Amino acid sequence: MPIRPLDEWAVGRTQSLPLSALKGAVVGIDAAHYINQHLVNQSTREALLGALGGFPFALRTNIEKELQTFSNLGVATIFVFNGLEFGKKEHRTQPASSRSFEQAWELYDQQQADQVVDAFSSAGMTTHYPYFNLSPVTDPWSFYRYHWAQRSFPTSADTTNPSGTPSPETLFKYLQRILTQNGVEFIVAPYSAAAQLSYLARGSNPVVDAVFAPSEALLFDIDKLVTRIDIEPAQFFWITKQTCQEELGRLSNEQFLEFCLLLGSPFLRSLPLFENPAYPGKSPTIRDALPMFNSAGRSALTLCAQYEEDRRMQELQYTDLYKRAYMIVKHHVYIDVEGRVGPMDPENTSSDMHELIGQRLPEELYFYLSKGIIGADVPNFLTTGEVRISLPLGTEDTEIYRQLVGDILTPLRTQSICLLANSLHRFYQTKVIRILPWFDENSERTINLKGIPSVKETIHSWKIHGDQFPESIKKLQAPRGSFKFAVQSLSEPDFTSKSFANRETPALSSQEDILSNVMWRFLQLRGYVDDKHKLTPWGQCLVQALSGIEPADNLEESIFVAIEMIRLGLLNTKSWFSHVSGGPMRGSEDDKTFNMLVSRVACVAKLQHKSIGYSGPLSRQLLCYRSLISQVRSALRSLVEVVLAGLLLSGDADRDRNDWTEMAIKLPFIDDNDCGLGIAVRTYLDDLPLQANPTSPEARADVKAKGKEWFQHSESFIGNLELAFKLWDAVYAGTQSTGKEFKEAKFWEDANKWLAERR
């Protein structure tokens, strides 16, 4: 997150060089900043992404193109990701941005096609260039400054969720997988990536020669900061801290730090006195803030003291917030090249830094965090004692969404939190975690770990080595570590009876063995396997659902998520979103109902699309439903990560290895889903009733032929329908194999008969 006023002021003060000037250098890249630039820059932003959900279709192609350019020019890179939360975070809503999405949907419902794309593209975007208060057409100087702003600094965006796209954090695992597959190094910082980059650039043995990061990195004494990198043409823009200090009136290092903190950053909100009450939410400007800072003797504390009676200062207790932020920056925590975790300037660090940054975790866990083995979510819950749930920008605030994130997912989160706590100090095992959703900040929802039996003990018997497998298991075609291998192996009685580990069982060593045992442990926690290592009715459901697919179908995760949605009471035809547009409109009530069910199943998978922004029909209803799937998938990812981390923390696997990141990216649930495949299915099934004989082969062929016009950039409309129907077949087969566990099997059977005549 940048210091916006500093970015705006620095317009025109950056310098540029060809990217080839960095040949032989190592560039440290702030991963969140890098992702954010892809999401908001004009050349890479996908206008309708906020209306479709999921990840940008062209993102992987764009990233790999850039990585190849770096490689061709001899520029090495190390990506640094933000880690755990630090300090107390403000959770503020974005009403203006929410309204902009509402207006975009209104335009779509009114069929204002020429305005819809621009409306969604700009929804949630906030451009902050306070000097541009005159029209660039009538004021050449403003035009000049505007031109330079576009070139050297990207448009600032709503930091909660820029332009309705995923927040950078939701793309961390996705980017880590791309980097690993392309042989590019990365590290996850214990806390702030900016602080970690400062260590890499300024340590006793510097690892990087240049830093590409948001302006907050200047708080950590980075001398030169790359502000932007372009591939076409291959060039980069940069600015020096010394330039900033000189042109701000020769500020000293200490004065520069204090002033930048007051301007607003991830460490501290901007000083209320710098803000204009007439424009709430608008960033302060250097032009207004610097004279006030100078008048206070260039001292932040003096300035705060001068206005200590101000109501806004008192309500926020801003002086205390400033002191905390100052200490957090001065003594921020990083991980060194040896894997040791500690604060900057340790000689002057106070003993209560845990009160400012957060409760300390074992160094082993910080190491797993740094390698991407475990994400930040579950450790954050333990260190902060809170599960804070915000409403992502562009997500509909519906009653079912509130129920899901506030209550339905609590048992799943509890498993993750408890399992990790079981491997940590007793301090964490007895914590009470508060659940604080945005719609109920005074919620009394809690997770009391002290009263929960050990989750770790229920799954510790899974420690099976590959050389123990009977021949029947070794002959299974499914890859080790997959859902299909896990459940098929447990269908063999001889294997199940010999699958219990004892104290003499040696630690797992091969990657295949580790991932296989992670999957068995995960499936037991989710109720597909019982404590006798036998498949439950839901396990049998999963066996049947997976039996008809091949690895090339790439549907395992989607099938598993769909079954989880069924078990959570979320995959059905309930009218949760009837207040918004985009549902089935044509045919009988049965036609509409069955269409809705099949379309919702399709939403669990991804639209097969070319590497270009989406262009086609939208559905607000299916976008709402997609948000439910996304939350379930995210919670499942957190759990499977904790299962792997817990296995390692318990010493059940050999830790003398170098395949950490490779293991992490092989865990499931990295890819988020869009609602595009659901829209394709709904559009096809909704057009059939317009035909004279909707179930005839001719009618189906005619409607499928229209798909090229509806979805111009999909890889194949017919191929997407076949993918969706293959997913339906798998999930349907599972629903018919659950015995008494699933009460709606007959309804699904009726839906399947209906679909058979129309596919």
CATH number of the domain encompassing residue 78: 3.40.50
Q: Examine residue 61 and state whether it is found in any structural domain, yes or no.
A: yes
pLDDT over threshold 80, residue 125: no
Summarised one tens digit per residue, pLDDT across range 293-338 is: 999 999 999 999 999 999 999 999 999 999 999 999 999 999 999 9
pLDDT of residue 535: 96
Rounded to an integer, what distance in angstroms lies between the CA atom of residue 275 and that of residue 281?
Answer: 8
Please name which of 450, 440, 391, 370 lies closest in space to residue 417, comparing C-alpha atoms.
450
Measure the CA angle with vertex 315, ends 310 and 319; round to 5°. 70
Structure tokens at 747: 């309804």
Summarised one tens digit per residue, pLDDT across range 711-735 is: 999 999 999 999 999 999 999 999 9
pLDDT band at 42 (very low <50, low <70, confident <90, very high): confident
Rounded to an integer, what distance in angstroms lies between the CA atom of residue 342 and that of residue 741?
Answer: 51
Q: Examine residue 381 and state whether it is found in any structural domain, yes or no.
A: no
Q: Examine residue 218 and state whether it is found in any structural domain, yes or no.
A: yes
pLDDT over threshold 70, residue 133: no
- Helices 717-735 and 697-710 sit at what angle, rounded to 10 degrees? 120
Q: What is the CA radius of gyration of the chain?
A: 27
Measure the CA angle with vertex 707, ends 705 and 713; round to 5°. 130
Instruction: State the pTM of this model.
Output: 0.92
Rounded to an integer, what distance in angstroms lies between the CA atom of residue 39 and that of residue 206?
Answer: 30
Q: Examine residue 220 and state whether it is found in any structural domain, yes or no.
A: yes
Overall average pLDDT of the 69-89 stretch = 92
Overall average pLDDT of the 88-108 stretch = 74
Parent domain of 50: 4-12+23-88+167-329
pLDDT over threshold 60, residue 142: no
- CB-based contacts of 43, cutoff 8 Å, min separation 6: none
pLDDT band at 92 (very low <50, low <70, confident <90, very high): low
pLDDT of residue 140: 32
User: Other CB atoms closer than 10 Å to residue 659's CB: what's the count?
Assistant: 12
Provide the terminal-to-terminal Cα distance of the chain, rounded to the nearest Å: 48
pLDDT over threshold 60, residue 216: yes
pLDDT of residue 281: 65
pLDDT over threshold 90, residue 471: no
Beta bridge partners of 17: 236
Percent of the chain clearing pLDDT 90 (strictly above): 77
pLDDT band at 124 (very low <50, low <70, confident <90, very high): low
Average pLDDT, the chain: 90
Q: Examine residue 588 and state whether it is found in any structural domain, yes or no.
A: no
pLDDT of residue 137: 33
Summarised one tens digit per residue, pLDDT across range 580-609 is: 999 999 999 999 999 999 999 999 999 999
pLDDT of residue 595: 98
User: Other CB atoms closer than 10 Å to residue 677's CB: what's the count?
Assistant: 29
Stretch among 18-32, 104-118, 509-523 having the lowest mean pLDDT: 104-118
Structure tokens at 541: 């459901």
Rounded to an integer, what distance in angstroms lies between the CA atom of residue 18 and that of residue 244?
Answer: 22
pLDDT over threshold 90, residue 502: no
pLDDT over threshold 60, residue 24: yes
For 140-172, give the DSSP string. HHHHHHHHHHHHHSPPPB-SSSGGGSPPGGGGH
Percent of the chain clearing pLDDT 70 (strictly above): 92
Overall average pLDDT of the 363-376 stretch = 97
User: Other CB atoms closer than 10 Å to residue 66's CB: what's the count?
Assistant: 18
Structure tokens at 688: 């059939």
pLDDT of residue 94: 55
Beta bridge partners of 211: 28, 225
Q: Examine residue 324 and state whether it is found in any structural domain, yes or no.
A: yes
Q: In what order do the strands lie in the sheet with 185-188?
A: 15-18, 235-240, 224-230, 210-212, 26-30, 76-81, 185-188
Number of domains in the chain: 1
pLDDT over threshold 60, residue 158: no
Summarised one tens digit per residue, pLDDT across range 387-444 is: 999 998 788 999 999 999 999 999 999 999 999 999 999 999 999 999 999 999 889 9
pLDDT of residue 157: 37
pLDDT band at 96 (very low <50, low <70, confident <90, very high): low
Summarised one tens digit per residue, pLDDT across range 252-296 is: 999 999 999 999 998 999 999 998 766 666 778 999 999 999 999
Q: Examine residue 685 and state whether it is found in any structural domain, yes or no.
A: no
pLDDT over threshold 60, residue 156: no
Q: Examine residue 308 and state whether it is found in any structural domain, yes or no.
A: yes
Overall average pLDDT of the 604-617 stretch = 95
Distances (CA, A) of 51 to 104, 111, 170, 511: 9, 15, 17, 39
Structure tokens at 618: 């939208």
pLDDT of residue 620: 96
